[in-house]
Amino acid sequence: MSRVLIVGAGLTGSLCACLLRRELQSRVQIVVWDKARGSGGRMSTTRPPDPSSHSADLGAQYITATPSYSQSHHSVYSELLSAGLLKPLDFLVEGLKHGDGNQDYVTPLGMGSIVKHFLSESGADLFFERHVTGLFRRGASWEVERKAGDSEMFDAVVVTMPVPQILQLHGDVLPLLSVHQQQQLDRVVYSSRFAAALFFSPDAVFGFPDWTARYVSDNCCIRYIRHNADAGGLGPSLVVHTSVSFGAEHLERDTQDVQPIILQELHTLLPALPQPISIKCHKWRYSQVLTAVPGCPGQMTVLERPLLVLAGDAFVHSNFDGCVESAQSALRVLKASL
């Protein structure tokens, strides 16, 4: 039985694990590691400290499917819709630009529910707080080193972490890259931004007119706002995303120093906003891919024997369908190798 490690429990990693299980079933042992304390990556759902408040998505807010991807990724969308994890967007997003034939979706249980669904379907051995720092070729296997100092052996490895983090790995990854591959990875560019989630008590009342979410075009700090109310009696939550330019300007500052600036600008935009009972601010150093690997290959095979594959939205484009495309590309390579 082949032992496969997938590094990263975000959308690409979780879907790749799910598809691999469905294709190879009991012929493969799938292990997923993530350095965070939970799954989701940029599609994680944040639970409030006080359970009386609604959860919040600090990363991806909704999913837009083009007509082409609605067709080519039909099985994925159909599965998530049938499971009640996706539904058509049914509220006003002020300032949202609609493309011809595009379909927008939201997640009733939060974006993280999609990743958890695929991980559950994969039957993978899932481990959190496992920070990969190096990969070393050992004959027909990969020795994968963790920050804690220990290591494990695998027959194949799929790495779905952001490209700058891949380029910081110790061991044999960089020496095995061709000059062309190195140049392609060096060209990948990400945007950065901050996000804040404000959690409110059940008796909090928002006095917003007729929007649930809005894009902000006339503020140097805030680019997007969304509030979540809950019919089940939970207190509302509100999510704020900063602009890319604000994220770049303040990238190296501590999140706790940036949070007051965001809150001050938010109260300028929404002066009647009630007092939250808790706030969580997060820095997305690798928020979205601005410049992907040329040609959108979906993955990059560093070595065929033992197999080492790099995957993620940096190898396609930065949205839901980019991650799906990358997971499917990585699966094709895995099937051919295992």
CATH 3.90.660.10 domain span(s) along the chain? 190-290
* Each residue's pLDDT tens digit, 215-253: 999 999 999 999 987 667 899 999 999 999 999 999 999
Contacts of residue 322, Cβ cutoff 8 Å, sequence gap at least 6: 289, 292, 313, 316
What CATH class does 190-290 carry?
alpha beta
For residues 154 and 70, give the distance between their C-alpha atoms in angstroms, rounded to a whole number: 35
pLDDT greater than 80 at residue 323: yes
Residue 175 has pLDDT above 80, yes or no: yes
Q: Tell me which H or E stretch contains 286.
A: strand 278-291
Q: What is the mean pLDDT of residues 285-310?
A: 97
Percent of the chain with pLDDT over 90: 92
Q: How many residues does the chain have?
A: 338
The C-alpha atoms of residue 338 and residue 154 are separated, in whole angstroms, by: 12
Rounded to the nearest 10 degrees, the angle between the axes of helix 112-122 and helix 11-24 is 30
What CATH number has the domain spanning 2-46+111-188+292-337?
Answer: 3.50.50.60
- pLDDT tens digits along 130-161: 999 999 999 999 999 999 999 999 999 999 99
Locate CATH 3.50.50.60 in the chain. Answer: 2-46+111-188+292-337
Question: What pLDDT sits at residue 231?
Answer: 61
Contact indicator for 334, 158 with CB cutoff of 8 Å: yes
